[in-house]
Structure 1
Amino acid sequence: MKRTISTVPALLLALSLIGQAAPGAGVEDLTVLPPLVDGVAPSALLEEQLKKLAFAALARREAAYAQIKTPADVATWQQRQRASFLASLGGLPERTPLNARVTGQRDCGAYRMEKVLFESQPGFFVSALLYLPPGTGPHPAVLMPCGHTAIAKAGEVYQKASISLVRAGLAVFCFDPIGQGERRLRQPDGTTEFNSPTSEHQLMGISGTPVSLSLARAMIWDGIRALDYLESRKDIRGDRLGCTGVSGGGTMTSYLMALDARVVAAAPACYLTGFRRLLETLGPQDFEQNLFGQITAGLDHSDYVLMRAPRPVLIMAATQDFFDIQGAWNLFREGKRVYGRLGFPERVELVEADTKHDLAIEMREASARWFRRWLAGRDDAWQEPAFEILRESEILCTPEGDVLRQPGARSFFELIAAVAAPFTAERQRFWQESPRPAALAKVRELARIRPLAELPPFTSTAGGTLQRGPVRIEKLTLRNAEGTVLPALLFRPANTSTGFRLHLHEDGKQAEAGPGGPLEALARAGETVLAVDLRGLGELQRGKRPAGFKAPFEPNWKSATVAYLLGQSLAGMRTEDILACARFASDQWNEGRPVHLTGRGEAGIPALHAAALEPQLFASTRLERTLRTWTDVISTSRTRNQQANTVYGALRFYDLPDLVATLPGNELVLHEPVDAAGQVEKK
């Protein structure tokens, strides 16, 4: 059967035939779903569906944990979880010369400070402060990664924590994380590229996703190389190293204490809670705090404690923290049980301060006592003395406060570019040498898209009709056995003459469904149109698209992050929505024949995947204002709404133009393709 496509001139002609709505006509309500669907607001359906998948995976992990009975069981668990952890990171880089140097010193009376620069990777500079107690040493030392504060090591909370520990007789190495302090991305005039470190981290993580370069991996490697630096110094005891941090620094402490055996004692603060309580409360947070596929792999927060058992860990939590305190206690009990199995229950403890999200004095004193006990052999009730903190300008490691002005310096975005550099040739070779079915099977694998036969079928429920002249509009609710619920509008012409179209719009089915709009025009021209809200779009969208500093992020970013934690992607999930909808529409209304497909904006990438993977379902494909290539995502720091569009590791094997190339040219229209910032590309 020869496939055809509705042309733009035909659409324009149809639009010209439509008059204005009749005077006095009532305002139409095109909403399909009720305020609650099975007790859940429509905008929360995607989130709830993903949480059910996550909770099922966490339940499997909890059942496996319950089987840990002996030290041998613990060792097996640790080996398996460590392997899962490293796999989620994509492994770790190779060690390269640190090229460390001290750029300045300061005598602060009760302690000394050295300003340090080192390269965790070639050209990837890390700025840090080394606080040294009196004497020549060697001193036990504590590594302190910072949390999400713009000025990082210069922030009051980190200065207080560092000075407190050095006054307790411990050296402290406090470093700026990627995208913070002297490592922020800046404009030529010195102003920061992004308004907050979390925004910078999120955009870095999104850009790294198509090449499977994890931001967490780079941040962890900074910490491991910082430990290398401490080991290299004669005034530091390399066999007495600890690690502590709060919030994002608590995340890094948790990662480092799990992976690096040199961390003799650790004290993560205001982070550990467990994914169950995290998802039940505030949801996933900053990009590096989430590893691809880790929930499905059974890797939970408590595993960062269990992996290092029986080495000492002090879990520090705040009663009023947004990282749930009950989750911290649940996690502590898991750790206490395993440490007890190994004969060292006293080596894991929990401190709860009745404060908010902060490194309160109760935590600072507790961690100082903890490190004095395990690193210095002094078990006493040490108390923090009074002290003053310094101005940011007094503790900069670089003249301009910007490591990227160092000769040969590289940003994280440049690391992404370096990783991606060989992929263009590798992709070309892959598609040239692989049979088409094998290449598309790899696409399925990476995007986690099941074959059509494995997708549960949709059923529909009618929800009322509207009449606009010769066009009848039916409200439908599509459901499947996996709990997916999609609202839809079916535009039926009086006489069908030009086929059936499945229409998908990033702003939802109602975006072009109004009186005199494009969907009515298509129906008046003889085409039956099914406009569907894919998961997370239209009525199913989590609020409005954000403005201000959150503008680069889509409203469903937390759901996209949970999908990432499950080893999935919204692009893949929505592709399955489209395939099941197309099959249902073909069988229900089009006598089993292929349907025309339109995808606009965020709906375009799943539409392209659907057309490439199951071409027999589609008579033609029209993509409007759709991202042209993922290489734009990795080559710019200023992406917009791209988290839902990315597939982890895809660019190692395919890009969007590779999928376009699988479709016959006479069956495909690319209308106003856009770049990663959402701007229409110039011809």
Structure 2
Amino acid sequence: MMERIKELEHYICTLYETKDQLRRHIYKRADQAFEAGDEQRDRIDNCELLEERRQAMKRAFVKSIGGLPPSDTPLNAAVVNVVAAEGYRIENIVFESRPGEYVTGNLYLPRQLVEVAPAVLFLSGHEAQAKHSIRYHEVCLRMVQAGLVVFAIDPIGQGERLSLLRNSEGEEVWGTAEHQRLGIQCYALGQSVARYFVHDAMRAVDYLAMRPEVDPTRIGVTGNSGGGTQTAMMMVCDDRIAAAAPATFIMNRQQYMHAGGVQDAEQIWPGLSGLGFDHEDLLLAFAPKPLLVCAVKYDFFPIEATRRTVQRCRRFWEMSGQGEGLRLVEDEFTHSYTDVLAIAAADFFTEHLLEQGDAERDAYRSKAQRSKLAPLASEQLQCTRSGQVMREYADAKAPSDTFSILAAELAEARTAARDEQSAAASEWLKRIVLTDRERCELNPRFIQMPSLAGLNIKYVLWWSQPEVMNSGYLFSPDCGTDDASGSDLSRATIAIALWQDGTKNLVQWWNWIQSMCASGRTVLVLNVSAVGPHEPHLLYGKPNDRFFGMTHKLADELIWLGDSLAALRIYDVLRAAEFAASLCKPDDCQIELYAAGLFRIYAELAIKLDARLQAGKLPGDAGSIRLSEWLAQGVADERDVMSVIIPGILQYYDLQIDKR
């Protein structure tokens, strides 16, 4: 019998190919938003409209990331070490961007330093060592060689700033893995982890402005990849930046969506695509200040997308009489801040911050081609003895600690205004689940399967939304009929089952299915969007239920649109309940929802939206835990997480989820 059950799990229905349907549905919505954004920007034909767009996008960006933390706390900056080298010296700095959140950085000071000099903030991409990576160290040295003060800092989750979160194997995570976990915590609060990245950079500018060697009116910013992201965010958020050189990041989101992979949580800004945002808005937010876009031709960010964005934005500088203020430099390389780009960026900053003439800049470029400043060992660039601020300072905090504090504050607010909160939560839930969904006829298709162990089995497909089909197996006691229409399902109680892998996971639950049918129920094992046979094609071979797989990518695109995969799937559950109700007499139908693991979130919220639905309990329950408590533990197990997280949910609900 086990082999027969496995055959059911592997059944392939040939009525519709559904693996690509969710991607097509989401991309269609996103394409419409991108086209609307292009039309909005195309209407900008004077400086007044440009300024309106710039201010509107700045407000939208800051709101999208949940606002910025206050910058009125003391930096408590300290020089922990000074290292002298040939032609320059480095001060190793530690400051507090927020109380207890320590930022580590290297301040590069050229030997031939004018009394008050311009400075460049260098923001690291996704290198494990971050500021003391040899790659980034040498980029900074190119700028020091040009006579610029440079301040390179470690971002969250890299260098000396790991949060010490662990995965399900107990290993410490860093970089993209940490950023994603912190991002999920922030999403639940109604924020983006981007707020902490950009705030750290703004506090680094605060520090530079305090230094007697630095002219606070001549501060630039650069970085590549994730550092390019941070640079772009600074272009939007910090008006003190006088010149910028984002590297290997600026592109066109529509082209990257169709051609590319998945980005980190700090690079996902909830709701902005729905407002027509694209990377052109990052550039126009900085116009008409000097801007050098650095790119490589063989990047995973399509070079065509970068060129398109720069070309479409040139007119914003021309409107202000600064037509040469926006430039693009390219190198023939893969994703990297190459030496060619480093020299070009240093030359750009000497022109606009040092205000050097052609002769001086020619001299720098000629010298840079002949020689480099000698780098230091990475150990000399570290600011802590232990290598990590979380181990170095007893009062050190990470964004994951801040999550627990903010989650507790939200819990108090929900309790203090229970009646008003209940009404607000109900309206929020209706909005996030029902808005932008197009109702259609269910039009179910019934496929009779061979009976098994005394059970009648039908595979059924129906439309949840136009172009989005859900499915499931209907199990009921075998009454000896061959009717495939479903009209023989006279049972008044239908149990809808929600669990990981849907109909591809029957063996584990077979005893429960049989026992439910024996109790007089009909069981519908449900495949919501992108589950079971609807699971999308793999992205670069990465599992769909893990970070950076295709399901993650689709979830991100929905977050960009102001939606979420969880909300879409809750709608799927509501439509499945409509389908189940259609099998019974109108006044003689009881629908129960049984859900396992994280999928319990779908059931809990669907029940709040449909009074017909009742909660059931699956066997083998290992206990439950509140969503906020589970998130506070650091999301060790990444399976299915991106498909159940709803931005802002903790402002309204703190649900119980299964530990299983």
TM over 0.5: yes
8 Å Cα contact 1:85-1:299 kept in structure 2: no
- CA distance in structure 2 between the partners assigned to 1:487 and 1:313 by the alignment: 51
Q: Mean Cα displacement is larger for which, 642-651 or 505-514?
A: 505-514
Q: What do residues 312-353 of structure 1 show as CA deviations (whole Å, max 9, x unaligned)?
A: 111111111011111101111121122222221210011111
Counterpart for residue 567 of structure 1: 562
Cα pair distance change 1:610/1:480, threshold 3 Å:
closer
Q: Mean Cα displacement is larger for which, 113-122 or 579-588?
A: 579-588
Cα pair distance change 1:633/1:213, threshold 3 Å:
farther
Asked if 1:332 is matched to 2:319, the reply is no
Name the amino acid aligned to 2:66: G
Counterpart for residue 631 of structure 2: 634
Name the amino acid aligned to 2:94: L
Asked if 1:69 is matched to 2:68, the reply is no
Q: What do residues 594-640 of structure 1 show as CA deviations (whole Å, max 9, x unaligned)?
A: 3122222232211111112212x224433676963211233112432
Q: What do residues 506-560 of structure 1 show as CA deviations (whole Å, max 9, x unaligned)?
A: 2212312699653344335432222221112112224689999x96777622222
Asked if 1:78 is matched to 2:77, the reply is no
Residues 256-275 of structure 1 aligned to structure 2 (within 5 Å)? 256-275=234-253
Asked if 1:532 is matched to 2:503, the reply is no
TM-score normalized with structure 1 length: 0.86
Query: Could you tell me which of 17, 25, 34 is aligned with 1:49?
Result: 25
Counterpart for residue 31 of structure 1: 11
Counterpart for residue 647 of structure 2: 648
Residues 155-174 of structure 1 aligned to structure 2 (within 5 Å)? 155-174=133-152
Q: Please report how far the alpha carbon of residue 47 of structure 1 lies from its aligned counterpart in structure 2 after TM superposition.
A: 2.6
Counterpart for residue 502 of structure 2: 508
Cα pair distance change 1:610/1:284, threshold 3 Å:
same
8 Å Cα contact 1:144-1:244 kept in structure 2: yes
- CA distance in structure 2 between the partners assigned to 1:328 and 1:33 by the alignment: 42
8 Å Cα contact 1:32-1:475 kept in structure 2: no
Q: Mean Cα displacement is larger for which, 235-244 or 470-479?
A: 470-479
Counterpart for residue 82 of structure 2: 105
Query: Could you tell me which of 456, 469, 476 is aligned with 1:472?
Result: 456
Residues 52-201 of structure 1 aligned to structure 2 (within 5 Å)? 52-95=28-71, 96-134=73-111, 135=113, 137-186=115-164, 194-201=172-179
- CA distance in structure 1 between the partners assigned to 2:5 and 2:409 by the alignment: 60
Residues 599-618 of structure 1 aligned to structure 2 (within 5 Å)? 599-615=595-611, 617-618=612-613
Cα pair distance change 1:227/1:27, threshold 3 Å:
closer
Q: How many aligned residue pairs are there? A: 631
Q: Runs of 5+ in structure 2 lacking a partner?
A: 480-489
8 Å Cα contact 1:215-1:288 kept in structure 2: yes
Q: Please report how far the alpha carbon of residue 407 of structure 1 lies from its aligned counterpart in structure 2 after TM superposition.
A: 3.8
Cα pair distance change 1:457/1:435, threshold 3 Å:
farther
Name the amino acid aligned to 1:444: K
SS of the aligned residue for 1:421 comes to: helix
Residues 421-460 of structure 1 aligned to structure 2 (within 5 Å)? 421-431=408-418, 433-434=419-420, 437-445=423-431, 448-450=432-434, 455-460=439-444
Q: Please report how far the alpha carbon of residue 434 of structure 1 lies from its aligned counterpart in structure 2 after TM superposition.
A: 3.0
8 Å Cα contact 2:546-2:552 kept in structure 1: no
Cα pair distance change 1:47/1:453, threshold 3 Å:
closer
Query: Could you tell me which of 275, 282, 285 is aligned with 2:263?
Result: 285
SS of the aligned residue for 2:434 comes to: coil
SS of the aligned residue for 2:444 comes to: strand
SS of the aligned residue for 1:426 comes to: helix
- CA distance in structure 2 between the partners assigned to 1:177 and 1:192 by the alignment: 23
Counterpart for residue 483 of structure 2: none
SS of the aligned residue for 2:430 comes to: helix
8 Å Cα contact 1:185-1:193 kept in structure 2: no
Cα pair distance change 1:415/1:27, threshold 3 Å:
closer
SS of the aligned residue for 1:512 comes to: coil
Asked if 1:420 is matched to 2:398, the reply is no
8 Å Cα contact 1:471-1:524 kept in structure 2: no
Name the amino acid aligned to 2:631: I
Percent identity over paired residues:
27
Q: Please report how far the alpha carbon of residue 674 of structure 1 lies from its aligned counterpart in structure 2 after TM superposition.
A: 3.1
- CA distance in structure 1 between the partners assigned to 2:379 and 2:509 by the alignment: 61
- CA distance in structure 2 between the partners assigned to 1:541 and 1:559 by the alignment: 12
Q: What do residues 222-270 of structure 1 show as CA deviations (whole Å, max 9, x unaligned)?
A: 0001111111111011111111101000000011012212111111111
- CA distance in structure 2 between the partners assigned to 1:114 and 1:436 by the alignment: 53
8 Å Cα contact 1:456-1:580 kept in structure 2: no
Q: What do residues 541-589 of structure 1 show as CA deviations (whole Å, max 9, x unaligned)?
A: 24689999x9677762222222221222222111100101101220234
- CA distance in structure 1 between the partners assigned to 2:100 and 2:596 by the alignment: 41
8 Å Cα contact 2:491-2:584 kept in structure 1: no
- CA distance in structure 1 between the partners assigned to 2:547 and 2:243 by the alignment: 39
Counterpart for residue 10 of structure 1: none
- CA distance in structure 2 between the partners assigned to 1:561 and 1:623 by the alignment: 30
Cα pair distance change 1:159/1:457, threshold 3 Å:
same
Name the amino acid aligned to 2:573: I
Residues 184-333 of structure 1 aligned to structure 2 (within 5 Å)? 184-186=162-164, 194-333=172-311
- CA distance in structure 1 between the partners assigned to 2:472 and 2:264 by the alignment: 34
Counterpart for residue 670 of structure 1: none
Cα pair distance change 1:166/1:298, threshold 3 Å:
same
Counterpart for residue 446 of structure 2: 462
Query: Could you tell me which of 381, 386, 391 is aligned with 2:372?
Result: 386
Counterpart for residue 402 of structure 1: 388
Q: Please report how far the alpha carbon of residue 58 of structure 1 lies from its aligned counterpart in structure 2 after TM superposition.
A: 1.0
Asked if 1:491 is matched to 2:475, the reply is yes
Cα RMSD after superposing both structures: 2.9
Q: Please report how far the alpha carbon of residue 415 of structure 1 lies from its aligned counterpart in structure 2 after TM superposition.
A: 1.5
